[in-house]
Structure 1
């Protein structure tokens, strides 16, 4: 199988499985159907967070036994079980927490290993482009699954049917990944770390003391902003008489179009400068959600700006984590990058749920604006530091 065809099937399988995360945006609506609230959503996602972090920590040992691609296939089965449980259960209880744990285990395997597998078959110079394409298909998957849920509800179906459909798609995804094992092995250039290298405290310290620490911190902040804005977007839309499907369609379309347009050129010669500008756009979008709450047009504009800001900056930050890491720490760096990301996307909703139920949605968005500003400052400092170092080299000092 050619490299192009292998990547095409790889991205297709990624798209099918990525819808899983998009369904977490529908959990507030699903839980409200049986009397639960945003705090319950946050509690379940905290169980997801803990399961995710534990899984990432031991992931190296799992891949040593099964191999990376087989582990991704296993993740598909675990996620399918999780989604089936969410769709089947109708009363909040221990089984919801079990579903959350399965979601954390499966998504951790999928999220961490899919880019690592790609690093094995791509050169360093290709990674921003390849990671951008990977993120396009992930974005398409989890951006369109809430839209599917919205359309099914409008068509008269219960919202839980969306979870059942997605569980079947995850199984198809797993079969596709397993079918690509031989092609991926053939294309591997063998420059990445071996499967038997799991995380330990020494390796964690080494990664956090490297240049990759900054993008690792930045992705945690950005993921928290994303969770604050997107995970409870259904509640925000209901409170302000808006249609959340418009947000997800505008955000998803913007991210896909921008990432396709800039896949070859994104980041440029000053990636942290590009990131800084994009994060400023993200901050602007959050401010739109705070101050313009009753206009459908401005609601869509906020979604578009968020798609440009967060959606386009994310793959560059991810690529910088890979490029800033030491070659022998590549796999570990991506695992710790996953740690930071998951603390934001699954852990922050625990805090967000408390803020919404006790203080209101606007305070949550104010917190998101503060985190956006902090991430922007981190990127700007790295950009100006790199420029200063370049000028020193050119001057011969």
Structure 2
């Protein structure tokens, strides 16, 4: 979720003198609806975390939810590559509005799965389309209107809004399901919320028309550039974010299964994770440039491993559950921006394309997020929840090994 921060700081080259006419902040009439829409769409994406429960209600196995979520992986990759090209044709905000409509259709497909479970697979595909486009384009709309010195603050706010929606989706989904008595109705309400988000994007877009902006350059991801990136040191942080995304998606998607096995409330995990992540992103972002990034990355990986160990050994203690969630939020919550900073800095040091490095980094994140639930579901079905957690712990060890190979000269603050 932190792609809104460090991955795009060098994508836009402001022409000489143009920075003087850019705004220091976005007016509330533009930023308010934009942030609200971002939170709502993130919550719609986060509703995939309660899909395993929904599939169980429909009489299906947990692994089916994994297949549904992973069905959007191909669509995500394709749309990540095409989002910028489409936005240049019709505009960033119209493209985001269209993606919001796609998310509404995805939620409607999930709701209709109570009639035909096959529609859930269509929902998974549509989630991949809508979320990938919104995730990549929303930070670009922010930075095109702001002076370089003002971007980090506003992008951090955007990231926090997205994380708030993402983390609160499961507790909200459970509350709505308990209130309405139907998870299908809950997804229908998410669909309505996405329609409202589309309107908010339109309102924000209209307000932003009055704000000075800079033109967006054409950015194209090609096979040649991708291979060049992966042949150099940038391969390590790109691989690391893919692994980190696997850990996050596995623990989040099957948190209900874990909590049920330990007689805990899964909403507790999502609330603690969200509050901790959002608080950290707002409080320590300005301090990250003071720490060597390779040391910071390794520290965050160790924290992630410690949290997974607590999840494994916890027999069902609520306080231990809260502690594990908070430590995981610390380790994972700051890892995206850290690894992203390493990737783009290394690309610059090797004379490679920084924008393409950022986009490939995001693609790797989506690969892990959408790809792992299939494996996670199979592990739970065959061997139980602890087998999946041990696999995630092994993945954390792999990231630790990769982190030990990092020797970047630059710091995050030099982006």
The equivalent residue for 1:188 is 213
Report whether the alignment pairs 1:83 with 2:97.
no
Deviations 1:137-180 (A, max 9, x none): 11100111111122233435212232222222222222222333
Deviations 1:314-361 (A, max 9, x none): 233334445554599444333322211111111110111111101111
Instruction: Find 1:260's aligned residue among 275, 279, 282.
Output: 282
The equivalent residue for 1:41 is 65
Distance 1:121 1:328 in 2: 26
Would you say the 8 A contact 2:25–2:150 is kept in 1? no
How far apart are residue 227 of structure 1 and its match? 1.2
The equivalent residue for 1:205 is 227
The equivalent residue for 1:379 is 403
Greater fraction helix:
1
Change (3 A) 1:115 1:210: farther
**SS, match of residue 120 in structure 2:** helix
Structure 1, 23-32 or 132-141: larger mean CA deviation: 132-141
Change (3 A) 1:111 1:310: same
Change (3 A) 1:123 1:281: farther
Distance 1:267 1:366 in 2: 33
Structure 1, 212-221 or 341-350: larger mean CA deviation: 212-221
The equivalent residue for 2:97 is 73
**SS, match of residue 294 in structure 1:** coil
Change (3 A) 1:322 1:20: farther
The equivalent residue for 2:294 is 272
The equivalent residue for 2:324 is 302
Change (3 A) 1:374 1:7: farther
1:1-397 aligned at under 5 Å gives the runs 3-5=25-27, 6-91=30-115, 93-121=117-145, 129-155=153-179, 157-181=181-205, 184=208, 186-190=211-215, 193-194=217-218, 197-209=219-231, 212-326=234-348, 329-382=353-406, 385-386=407-408
Distance 2:207 2:223 in 1: 34
Distance 1:122 1:370 in 2: 42
How far apart are residue 238 of structure 1 and its match? 0.9
Structure 1, 318-327 or 358-367: larger mean CA deviation: 318-327
Structure 1, 368-377 or 60-69: larger mean CA deviation: 60-69
How far apart are residue 31 of structure 1 and its match? 0.7
Distance 1:130 1:221 in 2: 28
What's the C-alpha RMSD, in Å, of the aligned pairs? Answer: 2.6
Change (3 A) 1:237 1:269: closer
Distance 1:281 1:20 in 2: 28
Would you say the 8 A contact 1:207–1:333 is kept in 2? yes
**SS, match of residue 264 in structure 1:** helix
**SS, match of residue 180 in structure 1:** helix
Would you say the 8 A contact 1:321–1:333 is kept in 2? yes
Count, aligned residues: 384
How far apart are residue 251 of structure 1 and its match? 0.9
Q: Which runs of 5+ in 2 are unaligned?
A: 1-22
Distance 1:247 1:21 in 2: 17
**SS, match of residue 90 in structure 1:** coil
Would you say the 8 A contact 1:276–1:377 is kept in 2? no
How far apart are residue 62 of structure 1 and its match? 2.0
Distance 1:299 1:246 in 2: 8
Would you say the 8 A contact 1:13–1:173 is kept in 2? yes
Change (3 A) 1:94 1:150: closer
Distance 2:79 2:43 in 1: 20
Q: Which runs of 5+ in 1 are unaligned?
A: 391-397
Would you say the 8 A contact 2:84–2:137 is kept in 1? no
**SS, match of residue 188 in structure 1:** coil
Structure 1, 41-50 or 171-180: larger mean CA deviation: 171-180
Deviations 1:80-129 (A, max 9, x none): 01001101221554322111111111111111222333443456666655
Distance 1:213 1:351 in 2: 23
